[in-house]
């Protein structure tokens, strides 16, 4: 899994900081998560190929997570896209996008599918043979979901030495990778574990932005490998959390600890602060393995996190 932060600051786009958008590459799929104003430029800057994005997940309809979507959808049309695009987001997202396309007399020539979300319970919203995506209902000022991205179990790795030793026929490789035992020509059974090795561990990534602190969140993201959790404020501004329904870095760390995650990435910083290092310091007092998102930063979960 490979996560590129296109933007991770709260509220308004600024000269040197973008609101929320990120790209998750997972088993050859490229998922866009949130799409603030300026996302299409950030995609270009980070050299992400537009054409590879077939699924866009929108957490909620606040501008700093959403106002770049209509521009990206329009640019896909200008770039003569033909492949399907799937957009997952709160009820209302279809109406507002279609109204803008109608006013511009610019319906897309590619199939554009909306998957409107309204459940307040976690639900699977995308699934194929390699990946599953579910919602994580959050608590914010408007209807908001985080998203849980899971790699499905990978195929078992073939043990080349064992295959030679047992003279396994090439036609059996597919079955072996799928975990089946091997039956020799004489009818004897060689257990799969003697011929294959465990696959690389499947990873889980939870994206949680925007939300206030609530402990039940931890049960929905138990044991994920990487948690991105918003930290709009530091504890010195915790009094702003109740009205704005945001969280502090310390609260993000508490959720990480309660959920037993392996890595915590912080983001969605208020631009009121001069730098972001204090977010890390505050969270590390509670949870040991804290990383700071920043615009243009890339996290390769295997290489950087040794997962």
Return the residue of 51, 83, 84, 95 that touches its own copies, per CB under 8 A: 95
Min separation Cβ 282 and its own copies, Å? 24
Q: Is 64 a catalytic residue?
A: yes
Structure tokens at 101: 């396309």
Alpha-carbon 215 to chain mean position: 21
Tell me the site size for its own copies, rule CB under 8 A.
36
Question: Does the protein bind its own copies through residue 142 (CB under 8 A)?
Answer: yes
Integer angstrom CA distances of residue 145 from 176, 214, 271, 293: 39, 14, 23, 20
75, 77, 83, 87 alpha-carbon torsion, rounded to 10°: 60
Return the residue of 45, 174, 200, 201 that touches its own copies, per CB under 8 A: 45
Cβ count within 10 A of residue 172: 15
Question: Does the protein bind its own copies through residue 120 (CB under 8 A)?
Answer: no
Question: Does the protein bind its own copies through residue 14 (CB under 8 A)?
Answer: yes
Question: Does the protein bind its own copies through residue 82 (CB under 8 A)?
Answer: no
Is residue 113 annotated as involved in ligand binding? no
C-alpha neighbours within 13 Å on the C-beta side of residue 204? 18
Nearer residue to its own copies within complex by CB, 9 or 205: 9
Question: Does the protein bind its own copies through residue 90 (CB under 8 A)?
Answer: yes
Is residue 174 annotated as involved in ligand binding? no
Is residue 128 annotated as involved in ligand binding? no
Question: Does the protein bind its own copies through residue 117 (CB under 8 A)?
Answer: no
Spatial separation of the C-alpha atoms in residues 231 and 212, rounded to whole Å: 9
H or E element that contains 204: strand 204-208
Is residue 295 annotated as involved in ligand binding? no
Bridge-based pairing state of the strands 182-183 and 112-117? unpaired
Question: Does the protein bind its own copies through residue 70 (CB under 8 A)?
Answer: yes
Min separation Cβ 141 and its own copies, Å? 6
Return the residue of 20, 21, 40, 59 that touches its own copies, per CB under 8 A: 40
Spatial separation of the C-alpha atoms in residues 47 and 41, rounded to whole Å: 10
Return the residue of 27, 52, 67, 237 that touches its own copies, per CB under 8 A: 67
**Range list of H helices, 145-271:** 160-165, 173-177, 192-195, 216-220, 241-244, 249-259
Question: 210, 60 in Cβ contact below 8 A?
Answer: yes
Site for its own copies, rule CB under 8 A: 11-15, 37-38, 40-41, 44-45, 61-63, 66-68, 70-71, 74-75, 78-79, 90, 92-93, 95-96, 99-100, 103-106, 141-142
Catalytic residues: 64
């Amino acid at each position: 899994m490979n996560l590129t932060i296109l933007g991770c600051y709260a509220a308004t786009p600024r000269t040197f900081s973008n609101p929320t958008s990120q790209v998750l590459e997972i088993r050859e799929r490229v998922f866009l998560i949130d799409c603030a104003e300026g996302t299409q430029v950030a995609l270009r800057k980070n050299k992400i190929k537009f054409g590879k994005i077939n699924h866009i997940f929108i957490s909620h309809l606040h501008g700093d997570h959403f106002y770049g979507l209509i521009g990206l959808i329009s640019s896909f049309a200008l770039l003569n896209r033909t492949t399907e695009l799937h957009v997952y987001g709160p009820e209302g997202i279809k109406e507002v996008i279609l109204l803008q396309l109608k006013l511009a007399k610019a319906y897309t020539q590619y199939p554009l599918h909306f998957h409107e979300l309204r459940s307040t319970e976690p639900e699977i919203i995308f699934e194929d043979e390699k990946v599953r995506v579910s919602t994580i209902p959050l608590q914010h000022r408007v209807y908001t979901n985080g998203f849980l991205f899971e790699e499905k179990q990978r195929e078992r790795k073939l043990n080349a030495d064992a295959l030679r030793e047992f003279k396994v026929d090439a036609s059996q490789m597919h079955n072996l990778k799928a975990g089946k035992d091997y039956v020799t020509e004489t009818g004897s059974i060689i257990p799969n574990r003697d011929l294959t090795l465990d696959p690389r561990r499947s990873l889980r990534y939870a994206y949680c932005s925007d939300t206030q602190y609530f402990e039940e969140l931890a049960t929905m993201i138990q044991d994920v490998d990487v948690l991105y959790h918003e930290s709009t404020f530091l504890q010195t501004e915790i009094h702003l959390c109740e009205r704005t329904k945001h969280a502090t870095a310390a609260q993000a760390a508490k959720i990480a600890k309660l959920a037993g995650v392996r890595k915590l990435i912080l983001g969605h910083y208020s631009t009121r602060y001069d730098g972001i290092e204090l977010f890390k310091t505050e969270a590390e007092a509670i949870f040991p393995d804290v990383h700071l998102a920043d615009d243009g930063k890339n996290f390769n979960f295997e290489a950087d996190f040794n997962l």
